[in-house]
Amino acid sequence: MRKRQKEKILELIQTFRQAHKEILMAVLKGEETAFLLLEQCQQGAVRIGEIIEQSENECSEIIGSLEAYCEWLYEKYQAFVSNEEPAEDFLKEGDAFCHRLSRQIAKDISVRMEVVFLPYKASMWDSLESVWMAAREDPSCDSYVVPLPYYDRRQDHSFGQLRDESEMYPSYVPITRYTEYDLKERHPDMIFIHNPYDDSNFVTSVHPFFYSENLRNYTDCLVYIPYFVLEDQPCSNREYTEAVAHFCNVPALQYADRVIVQSEQMRETYIQVLTQIWGAESRPIWEKKILGLGSPKMDKGTAGKQELQIPDPWRKRMYRPDGSKKKIVLYNTCLLYTSDAADDG
């Protein structure tokens, strides 16, 4: 059973307690609302039983307690129809049922986490993959990979061509189409994203529904992991912190519940930069939110050969006909230009 379902069931049982008090008051006043409240309590108990029976838990004891509670409600209904005065122990009996049910549910019903990964570019999947692998191996966790389509931006910042890279992910990653996963209805326990920009990206954009500002409304914990890694330097280097500031002050840093960065040193950089921007009183927020647990991109880089799927065209370029490996030089381009890079020539 989902954690959220279990919490709602326990909350509903607590509403039974309040309903019992209102039933007693209504009976003493001769108001017919007592019968409606009795019926609503019974309907609530039946619904709880249906939810529990649909879960993977063996809960015959709880079902038995729910049935006994429904029988007790029916007996009270019959008694009040016959104009019998409510017994002095009416509230005591009702509280006993609620206490027993709450205790049994808390003890006997196990919960499962539902975790959703929302990448948008297949080339950036490595920034989430090792976390997804851990979630996949957790027997108490249900994980989903839901690639988001994205728009190219026109020069006027409007949405252009829509791109969907769902077919470009590794074959071992099961994909759920974004049209088949209802965030509003399912409300996953955790959502992981690597896109921090919301509407501030001038090159691409996911649909506004999937901006971090909105996603936080449909999960208990929104987690942002950067799709990039940065050069790690002490945050005492002012020139360095000024150069990376625009990576730190992005919408997802504001709206995510947790942010996972590549190292403890990088965590300190993020905290210092954001504190300078948002003020000293904001520091406790960043200290709690930002975690220096490492980058999945680095996990991917250190993965064993058996864990990597190298495309055939790449393999032909990497290996000689006799199977020996060629010397490989990795050449990368980016949008960031610095004087240091120019000097390094």
- Which tens digit of pLDDT belongs to each residue from 75-96? 998 988 888 777 778 899 999 9
pLDDT of residue 193: 98
pLDDT at 335 exceeding the cut of 80: no
pLDDT at 336 exceeding the cut of 70: no
pLDDT of residue 41: 96
Q: Give which of 230, 194, 236, 246 is closest to 215, Cα–Cα.
A: 194
Q: For residue 310, what are its two tokens? A: 């190298």
Q: How far apart are CA 98 and CA 79, in angstroms?
A: 21
Pairwise pLDDT comparison (271 vs 27), residue with the higher score: 271
What is the average pLDDT value for the chain, to the nearest integer? 90
Q: For 299-320, how does the pLDDT look when each residue is reduced to its tens digit (9 = 90+)?
A: 876 655 545 667 788 888 889 9
For residue 30, what pLDDT band results from cuts at 50, 70 and 90? confident
> Hunting for tokens 């790449």 — which residue is that?
314
Q: How far apart are CA 199 and CA 250, in angstroms?
A: 10
Sign of CA dihedral 124, 126, 131, 132: positive
Q: Give which of 81, 56, 53, 55 is closest to 67, Cα–Cα.
A: 53
Q: What is the pTM of this model?
A: 0.79
Q: Show the 3-state SS of 250-309.
A: CHHHHHCCEEECCCHHHHHHHHHHHHHHHCHHHHHHHHHHEECCCCHHHHHHCCCHHHCC
For residue 59, what pLDDT band results from cuts at 50, 70 and 90? confident
Q: Give which of 223, 242, 224 is closest to 233, Cα–Cα.
A: 242
pLDDT of residue 343: 36
pLDDT at 101 exceeding the cut of 60: yes
For residue 344, what pLDDT band results from cuts at 50, 70 and 90? very low
How remote is the C-alpha of 90 from its chain's centroid?
A: 42
Long-range contacts of 24-31 (CB under 8 A, 24+ apart): 24/86, 24/90, 24/91, 27/80, 27/85, 27/86, 28/86
Exposure letters 279-312 (e unless 16+ CB within 10 A, then b): eeeeeeebeebbebebbbbebeeeeeeeeeeeee
pLDDT at 4 exceeding the cut of 90: no
pLDDT of residue 220: 95
Phi/psi at 138 (nearest 5 deg)?
-80, 115
Pairwise pLDDT comparison (111 vs 284), residue with the higher score: 284
pLDDT of residue 341: 37
pLDDT of residue 188: 96
Compute the average pLDDT of residues 21-28. 91
Q: For residue 140, what are its two tokens? A: 């108490």
For residue 342, what pLDDT band results from cuts at 50, 70 and 90? very low
Whole-Å CA distances, 10 to 72, 211, 265, 277, 341: 19, 32, 42, 42, 59
Q: How far apart are CA 323 and CA 230, in angstroms?
A: 34
For residue 245, what pLDDT band results from cuts at 50, 70 and 90? very high
For residue 115, what pLDDT band results from cuts at 50, 70 and 90? very high
Q: For residue 223, what are its two tokens? A: 């987690």
Q: How far apart are CA 199 and CA 252, in angstroms?
A: 11
pLDDT of residue 339: 39
Instruction: Name the DSSP class of 175.
Output: B
CB-facing half-sphere around the CA of 16: CA atoms within 13 A:
32
Q: For 205-230, how does the pLDDT look when each residue is reduced to its tens digit (9 = 90+)?
A: 999 999 999 999 999 999 999 999 99
- Contact status, residue 263 vs residue 293, Cβ threshold 8 Å: no
Q: Give which of 33, 108, 25 is closest to 66, Cα–Cα.
A: 108
Q: For 131-182, how does the pLDDT look when each residue is reduced to its tens digit (9 = 90+)?
A: 999 999 999 999 999 999 999 999 999 999 999 999 999 999 999 999 999 9
Ranking 204-218, 224-238, 331-345 by mean pLDDT, the lowest is 331-345
pLDDT of residue 334: 63
